[in-house]
């Protein structure tokens, strides 16, 4: 154990003196959080809307205010011709236009069908589809209200409506869903990269060989080498969790101790992954590449960070079972968003522990085998 301490102390000193690496370890993750946290946002609000009202009736005004009140649309222009719509759309001043035909009110009131036109900028198909969905819902709502008013002679809400309550994230802010994923993503990448580089650097410099000449067993060396990185990575992870709370309003509804426990297992697994990578390659450039490959892609795509696992094909779902972020994200989201009890996540905790034990075991085996 004295030997492991000697290794740990040495590693701490090296990290502390290598200011650049230390800063990278501590602050780059937070920087990424900022960058991605603001950039990754699926919410579509405040779509710039031009209104071409050819009807000028009470009903048309009611339809327009329904659009504006929805907050999905910002009425930025009132125009009088299609040419104006075209010109605004071309200059990207508006993203959508609502065209209300002449006599809409009269037609509707006399029992005929009338159509309003929604013009959308389709340069981003996903956004256009979503906006069209919003617009349709608004028109349908107004249409239903008109129907009832005509039948009963008074303005009344539709008899049957779906009243949604969105739990945990009532405003359906996608950031609340994404930020925990980002935390898992960033922690994984920085842990894997920093550990694998630190060991491969020793291989390149020749100190690795020198240390292997000494009577120290693999486990002591690995423990000594990992502890400092655990401390630094853990600090960095906590830092971005706080940043997520203050900058993105991520709530903390569950228990800190459960969160810290899950984070510990996750960080150890990530460090073990880095260690395993370092036993497979001999150059820093290759270590960097392999580290990114094993941490970035699976954590981004197969963890449920961005794409829901349940909608993946079954074989891909099977592969995602070995991605630790998959479990960490469930626990993290559960604790911070739902305030769930750690006891509900026994499976996930188990999976994280199993992953950490497996990669550390494999890495130790590889290290022991290097002795030829």
DSSP assignment of 28-89, as one string? HHHHHHHHHHHH-------EEEEEEESS-SHHHHHHHHHHHHTSSEEEEEE-SSHHHHHHHH
Q: Does 215 bind another protein (CB under 8 A)?
A: yes
Find the binding residues for another protein in span 9-28 (CB under 8 A).
9-10, 13-14, 17-18
Q: How far is the CB of 10 from another protein (least distance, A)?
A: 4
Token pair in block for residue 130: 């979503």
Residue of the chain from 61, 212, 338, 366 that contacts another protein (CB under 8 A): 212
In the stretch 40-59, what mask flags binding to another protein with x, by CB under 8 A? --------------------
Token pair in block for residue 231: 């401390």
Q: How far is the CB of 313 from another protein (least distance, A)?
A: 42
Q: Does 173 bind another protein (CB under 8 A)?
A: no
Find the binding residues for another protein in span 88-147 (CB under 8 A).
none
Indicate the residue among 14 and 317 with the shorter CB distance to another protein: 14
Token pair in block for residue 219: 């486990």
DSSP assignment of 284-340, as one string? HHHHHHHHHHHHHHHHHHSSSSSS-GGGS-HHHHHHHTT-HHHHHHHHHHIIIII--
Please tell me the distance from the alpha carbon of residue 283 to that of residue 290, in angstroms, as a whole number: 11
CB-based contact 33:27 (threshold 8 Å): no
Q: How far is the CB of 357 from another protein (least distance, A)?
A: 25
Q: How far is the CB of 216 from another protein (least distance, A)?
A: 6
Residue of the chain from 111, 159, 206, 315 that contacts another protein (CB under 8 A): 206
Indicate the residue among 207 and 347 with the shorter CB distance to another protein: 207
Q: Does 213 bind another protein (CB under 8 A)?
A: yes
Indicate the residue among 10 and 109 with the shorter CB distance to another protein: 10
Q: How many residues bind another protein (CB under 8 A)?
A: 25
Indicate the residue among 45 and 205 with the shorter CB distance to another protein: 205
Residue of the chain from 92, 209, 282, 341 that contacts another protein (CB under 8 A): 209
Q: Is 51 exposed, middle or buried (0-12, 13-18, 19+ CB in 10 A)?
A: buried
Please tell me the distance from the alpha carbon of residue 133 to that of residue 307, in angstroms, as a whole number: 21
Q: What angle do CA 289, 294, 296 make, to 5 degrees?
A: 85
Q: How far is the CB of 16 from another protein (least distance, A)?
A: 9
Q: Supply the angle between the helices 324-333 and 174-205 in degrees, to the nearest 10.
A: 140
Indicate the residue among 110 and 210 with the shorter CB distance to another protein: 210
Q: What are phi and psi of 355, to 5 degrees?
A: -60, -50
**Interface segment toward another protein; rule CB under 8 A; list 110-118, 161-169, 209-217, 261-269:** 209-217
User: For 372, which DSSP code?
Assistant: -
Residue of the chain from 136, 207, 283, 347 that contacts another protein (CB under 8 A): 207
Residue of the chain from 45, 93, 112, 205 that contacts another protein (CB under 8 A): 205
Q: How far is the CB of 371 from another protein (least distance, A)?
A: 7
Please tell me the distance from the alpha carbon of residue 359 to that of residue 365, in angstroms, as a whole number: 10
The kind and range of the H/E element at 117 are strand 117-120
Q: How far is the CB of 226 from another protein (least distance, A)?
A: 16
Indicate the residue among 18 and 78 with the shorter CB distance to another protein: 18
Please tell me the distance from the alpha carbon of residue 55 to that of residue 146, in angstroms, as a whole number: 16
Chain residues in the site for another protein (CB under 8 A): 2-3, 5-7, 9-10, 13-14, 17-18, 205-207, 209-217, 371-372
């Amino acid at each position: 154990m004295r030997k492991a301490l000697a290794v740990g102390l040495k590693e701490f000193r090296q990290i502390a003196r290598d200011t650049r690496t230390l800063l990278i370890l501590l602050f780059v993750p937070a920087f990424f959080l900022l960058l991605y946290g603001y950039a990754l946002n699926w919410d579509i609000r405040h779509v710039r809307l031009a209104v071409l009202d050819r009807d000028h009736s009470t009903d048309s005004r009611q339809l327009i205010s329904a659009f504006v009140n929805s907050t999905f649309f910002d009425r930025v222009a009132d125009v009088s011709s299609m040419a104006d719509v075209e010109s605004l759309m071309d200059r990207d001043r508006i993203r959508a236009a609502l065209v209300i035909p002449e006599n809409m009110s009269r037609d509707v009131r006399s029992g005929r069908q009338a159509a309003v036109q929604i013009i959308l900028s389709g340069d981003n198909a996903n956004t256009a589809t979503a906006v069209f969905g919003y617009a349709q819902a608004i028109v349908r709502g107004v249409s239903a209200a008109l129907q009832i008013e005509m039948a009963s002679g008074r303005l009344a809400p539709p008899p049957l409506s779906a009243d949604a309550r969105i739990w945990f994230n009532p405003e359906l802010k996608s950031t609340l869903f994404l930020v925990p994923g980002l935390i898992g993503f960033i922690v994984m990448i920085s842990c894997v990269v920093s550990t694998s580089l630190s060991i491969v650097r020793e291989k390149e410099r020749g100190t690795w060989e020198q240390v292997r000449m000494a009577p120290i067993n693999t486990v002591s060396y690995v423990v000594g080498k990992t502890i400092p990185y655990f401390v630094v990575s853990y600090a960095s992870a906590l830092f971005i969790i706080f940043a997520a709370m203050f900058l993105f309003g991520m709530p903390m509804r569950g228990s800190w101790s459960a969160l810290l426990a899950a984070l510990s297992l996750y960080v150890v697994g990530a460090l073990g992954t880095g260690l395993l990578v370092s036993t497979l390659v001999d150059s820093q450039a290759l270590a960097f590449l392999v580290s990114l490959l094993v941490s970035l892609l699976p954590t981004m795509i197969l963890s449920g960070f961005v794409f829901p696992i349940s909608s993946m094909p079954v074989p891909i779902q099977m592969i995602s079972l070995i991605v630790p972020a998959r479990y960490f994200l469930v626990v993290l989201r559960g604790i911070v968003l739902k305030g769930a009890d750690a006891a509900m996540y026994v499976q996930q905790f188990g999976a994280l522990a199993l992953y950490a034990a497996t990669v550390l075991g494999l890495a130790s085996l590889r290290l022991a085998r290097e002795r030829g």
